[in-house]
Chains A and B, each alone.
Chain A
Amino acid sequence: MRRFIQRNPLWALVILVAVVIFLWMIFAIWPEWLEKLMGDSNKRTFVNAILNGITQGALYFLVASGFTLIFGLMRNVNLAHGSLYLLGGYIGFEISDATGSWYLSFLVAFIAIGLIGIALQIVVFRRMEGQELRQTMVTIGISIVLADIILWIWGGDFYQIWAPDWLSGPVTTPFISGIRSSGEVVYIKYPSVRALILLAAIVIGIGMWLALNRTRIGMLVRAGVDDRDMLAATGVRVQLVFVAVFAFGAGLAGLAGVVGGTFQSLQPGEDTRILLASLIVVIVGGMGSIPGAALGALLIGLAEQLGSVYVPTYSVVLTFLIMVLVLAFRPQGLLGR
């Protein structure tokens, strides 16, 4: 960081000013001219859009981190990742519907989809190691088959997973929205489910970072990403690492399915939507990089939510615009190597 400031003093200043303005916009009470400037919208809208962008990013991160980990380690673009997400969501729905437990649905979805991931790795990918094109085609095929099986079992209806009662309704955030003429301070409210999901995603993200950087398995995975042939040559059973990573990545997608089913909904077509989103996230963040997936997910989530409020007509284009810019100026992704 110090080196960055020494090398680019101008940019560092610009970034610092932007951060200060942003923090001021979050914490200060907006004067009237600012509300005018932001297209006649108030601070509540702005803070909510920011928070929603972060929660949306949290969902994308859960899906994309597994996707990028699998790619980084096995050079395998798993285009069935979106189907695993959707399947995890439906399994989570069935569990929470049958047992009434929201928490159990996360666990079961994670394990079930993880097992499917193991099966995929052993039955399909191990047979065609190093043949990227063939793997890609096969995963497209699997995603189509899975989508039809899902449609066959659950139909086209919409499913939502219902969060426990204590999570329904909003919580009060520490951000002030305004002060009434009576002197009463009005705080911004935010849906509790989303707040919890945001917290959980941050915990998972930090946990993954710690696991990758502070444990032996993490060391193996990182070594495998850099050079898996050398890793195999040192006597590590690479195939086992592959299976573990695939299972974990797939399990995360299943987990994300339950998250998505809770604050959005489950329906046919969500699989390709989420796959497209995680592809963009991974392209923006850098293929194979976990911090990259986090940054990309945050950027895309914020772009979608701020876009939907401030430039609703063009919000669809915004994410692709980010992708185009990244590809034009930093084709390996923001944090890619």
Chain B
Amino acid sequence: MRNWLTTAAAVGAFAFAANAHAQETLTIGVMATLEGTYTVLGEDGIRGLEMAMEQAGYEAGGRPIEIIIAATDASPDSAVRAARKLVEQDGVDIVIGPLSGSEGIAIRDYAKTQPQMTFINGSSGAQETTYVTPADNFFRFNMDGAQWSVGLGDYLYEEKGYRNIVTIAEDYSFTYTQVFGLALEFCAAGGEISERFWVPLGTSDFASIIASLPDDVDAIYLGLGGGDAVNFLNQYQQAGGDANLIGGTIMVDQTVLQSRGRAKEALIGTPASGPQGDTWEDENWQAYVAEFQEMYPDRFPSLLATAYYNSANAVINALNAVDGDLSDGHAAFREALATMELEAPNGLITLDDNRQAVGTNFVTEVVEDADGNLVTEVVSIVEGVNQTLGYDPAVFASIGLPSRDIPECRAYE
């Protein structure tokens, strides 16, 4: 009897200890651009993340979740600094982020020095991040800038009848990737890109660039984001510009479409492409938008909110799958991430062998809705867009990495 009691007590104590282990708080570090020209993008990313956490009740796999946010400013070194703070100082268990293209490349390299940590990308979209020497512990549940351009080139050539365009874009990895995707498709269809302008990230005065734009082209592609986009539109209208515009993914995005002032009105009717169409009929999407607007009245989720929402949900799902147990060096958790089929509001997302998202892309046009807000309307949808954009991997590799003048404007076969 005495023996039995001791055993029972021991078992009870053990069970209690195990339970205590499961209840241990899990900290997730989040990186977002909360400084500089992309501040508003970072803020919206955090909104999306917090909404996912709120829905899960800040709990996954039986463990309460604590969030630590670190600010970056879209520069690679600020991202590495933030990641080091989260990993080495705060001792977080998982990192979500970063937001911007070149930050992603830097974090891929940093991830290789921290093999015990798992990184889930926030929304950064440079091709190189997962295409060249990918890190085993870096997962990206959003498509890259080139995938976000899929469908646009054909639409411009076939439907809009554009034959000759110029591009203006910020001078860094993400926008290289965006123009890369656009050029491949538009040039393969037979279009011509007569000039590519590259401006520094954080340019506040575009007036001289606007004055030097050729006026004998069919349309101008704008690969700008955040404050740069707003400044460009403002100054473009002041200069009396009236050319046809084409929007890059973060140019025609709610972060710009919700800006205060009238500059954005220049965008009405502008075709663009990206991972979401604001007025998509899909049930999941409508539910997501409704829930977002309940949590943040008078706001419409931007693609950054959606991307961070998806990344956070991927983490929550994977944690649920392994019951919050990361004690095996994240092995089971990573396996759960890699094999996940994420039912995201903007379509099904799966990962390829480089842990890069394969997903759905939307070609859209900007319209004014009944309340006078600017939203994007879906024109066409392309499903199952992979990182090589449907090209044979060998052909795709022969094109080279996105840069100021790659790809050339021709059909690759």
Partners in one complex: yes
- A residues bordering B, Cβ < 8 Å? 41, 44-45, 48-49, 52-53, 55-56, 93, 97, 151, 155-163, 168-170, 189-194, 263-265, 267-270, 273, 304-306, 308-309, 312-313, 315-316
Q: Does A156 lie within 8 Å of B42, measured CB to CB?
A: yes
Q: Does A52 lie within 8 Å of B43, measured CB to CB?
A: no
Q: Does B238 lie within 8 Å of A194, measured CB to CB?
A: yes
Nearest opposing residue in chain B for A316, CB measure? B200
Give per-residue flags for B190-206: 1 if the beta carbon is below 8 A from chain A beta carbons, else 0.
00000001111011111
Expressed in whole angstroms, the Cα–Cα distance for A265 and B264 within the complex equals 12
Nearest opposing residue in chain B for A305, CB measure? B208
State whether the Cβ of B39 lies closer than 8 Å to any Cβ in chain A.
yes
Q: Does B40 lie within 8 Å of A269, measured CB to CB?
A: no
Q: Does B208 lie within 8 Å of A308, measured CB to CB?
A: yes
| A309-B208 in contact given A156-B34, A268-B39, A269-B36 (Cβ < 8 Å) | yes
CB distance from B12 to the nearest CB of A (A): 50
| A156-B208 in contact given A162-B262, A191-B238 (Cβ < 8 Å) | no
- Residues of B in contact with A, size category: 35 or more
Q: Does A308 lie within 8 Å of B209, measured CB to CB?
A: yes
Main secondary structure of the interface of A (DSSP, over half): helix
Residues on B with beta carbons closer than 8 Å to the beta carbon of A97 = 260
The interface-forming segment of B229-237, B281-289, B318-326 is B229-237
Q: Does A160 lie within 8 Å of B260, measured CB to CB?
A: yes
State whether the Cβ of B17 lies closer than 8 Å to any Cβ in chain A.
no
Residues on A with beta carbons closer than 8 Å to the beta carbon of B197 = 312
Most buried by B among A93, A189, A305: A305
Expressed in whole angstroms, the Cα–Cα distance for A313 and B405 within the complex equals 13
Besides A273-B204, A316-B200, 18 other A-B contacts (C-beta < 8 A): A45-B208, A48-B208, A48-B211, A49-B212, A56-B205, A93-B260, A155-B43, A156-B43, A158-B260, A158-B261, A161-B261, A169-B240, A189-B239, A264-B205, A268-B39, A269-B227, A306-B208, A308-B209
CB distance from B215 to the nearest CB of A (A): 9
10 of the cross-chain contacts (CB-CB < 8 Å) are A48-B211, A48-B212, A97-B260, A156-B43, A157-B259, A160-B259, A189-B240, A267-B226, A308-B206, A312-B171
Give per-residue flags for B376-387: 1 if the beta carbon is below 8 A from chain A beta carbons, else 0.
000000000000
Q: Does A267 lie within 8 Å of B40, measured CB to CB?
A: yes
Expressed in whole angstroms, the Cα–Cα distance for A115 and B237 within the complex equals 34
| A265-B208 in contact given A156-B34, A156-B39 (Cβ < 8 Å) | no
Q: Does A160 lie within 8 Å of B239, measured CB to CB?
A: no
State whether the Cβ of B368 lies closer than 8 Å to any Cβ in chain A.
no
Residues on A with beta carbons closer than 8 Å to the beta carbon of B34 = 156
State whether the Cβ of B143 lies closer than 8 Å to any Cβ in chain A.
no
Expressed in whole angstroms, the Cα–Cα distance for A305 and B211 within the complex equals 11
Q: Does A162 lie within 8 Å of B204, measured CB to CB?
A: no
Specify which of A168, A269, A304, A309 is in contact with B212 (CB 8 Å cutoff): A309
Expressed in whole angstroms, the Cα–Cα distance for A48 and B256 within the complex equals 27
Expressed in whole angstroms, the Cα–Cα distance for A308 and B258 within the complex equals 28
| A45-B212 in contact given A156-B42, A263-B234, A268-B39 (Cβ < 8 Å) | yes
Expressed in whole angstroms, the Cα–Cα distance for A93 and B35 within the complex equals 21
Nearest opposing residue in chain A for B261, CB measure? A160
Most buried by B among A49, A267, A315: A267
CB distance from A84 to the nearest CB of B (A): 18
| A263-B212 in contact given A93-B260, A308-B203 (Cβ < 8 Å) | no
Q: Does A52 lie within 8 Å of B260, measured CB to CB?
A: no
State whether the Cβ of B207 lies closer than 8 Å to any Cβ in chain A.
yes
State whether the Cβ of B249 lies closer than 8 Å to any Cβ in chain A.
no
Expressed in whole angstroms, the Cα–Cα distance for A56 and B231 within the complex equals 14
Q: Does A269 lie within 8 Å of B39, measured CB to CB?
A: yes
Q: Does A265 lie within 8 Å of B237, measured CB to CB?
A: no
Q: Does A267 lie within 8 Å of B208, measured CB to CB?
A: no
Specify which of B198, B209, B261 is in contact with A313 (CB 8 Å cutoff): B198
State whether the Cβ of B37 lies closer than 8 Å to any Cβ in chain A.
yes
CB distance from B392 to the nearest CB of A (A): 34
Specify which of B35, B39, B40, B263 is in contact with A160 (CB 8 Å cutoff): B263
Residues on B with beta carbons closer than 8 Å to the beta carbon of A316 = 200
